[in-house]
């Protein structure tokens, strides 16, 4: 079964027992006549969508090349010292498990150990 990734469905139209699908992707536009369509719609991670962070702070966060997701260290720290990001924003660097609760145990252990160095003893 042919798979197309990184494409956007720009049009889909039933035509008898087939479906004509128009796709736009990295290689340009393509029109297909197919029996079945499975469109797995994802979402793009975008650090600029975090409106609760000041614009200057968002601009200071390095991005994964080719995306708007944050580039993180092995301890989930951004390029802004002391700012850590976990959850789905960590998935491009650490894999899809970070999108789920199951990934929190791994993430929190690394963040906690690293963040402890920012605590100033009295």
The pLDDT value given to residue 74: 95
Which residues, in sequence order, are bridge partners of residue 70?
63
Per-position pLDDT tens, the chain of length 122: 677 888 888 888 888 888 999 999 888 999 999 888 877 766 778 999 888 888 999 999 999 998 899 999 999 999 999 899 998 889 988 988 888 888 888 999 999 999 888 777 66
Q: What span, in angstroms and rounded, lies between the C-alpha atoms of 76 and 69?
A: 12
Token duo for residue 2: 């042919």
The pLDDT value given to residue 39: 75
Q: What span, in angstroms and rounded, lies between the C-alpha atoms of 12 and 27?
A: 19
The pLDDT value given to residue 85: 92
Domain boundaries, the chain: 1-42, 47-117
The pLDDT value given to residue 121: 67
């Amino acid at each position: 079964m042919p798979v197309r990734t990184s494409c956007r469905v720009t049009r889909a139209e039933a035509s008898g027992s087939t479906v004509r699908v128009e796709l736009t992707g990295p290689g340009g536009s393509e029109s297909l006549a197919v029996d079945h369509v499975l469109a797995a719609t994802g979402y793009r991670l975008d650090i600029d969508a975090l409106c609760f962070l000041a614009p200057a702070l968002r601009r200071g966060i390095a991005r994964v090349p080719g995306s708007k997701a944050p580039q993180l260290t092995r301890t989930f720290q951004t390029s802004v010292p002391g700012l850590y990001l976990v959850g789905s924003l960590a998935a491009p660097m650490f894999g899809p498990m970070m999108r789920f609760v199951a990934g929190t145990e791994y993430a929190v252990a690394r963040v906690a150990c690293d963040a402890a160095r920012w605590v100033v003893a009295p």
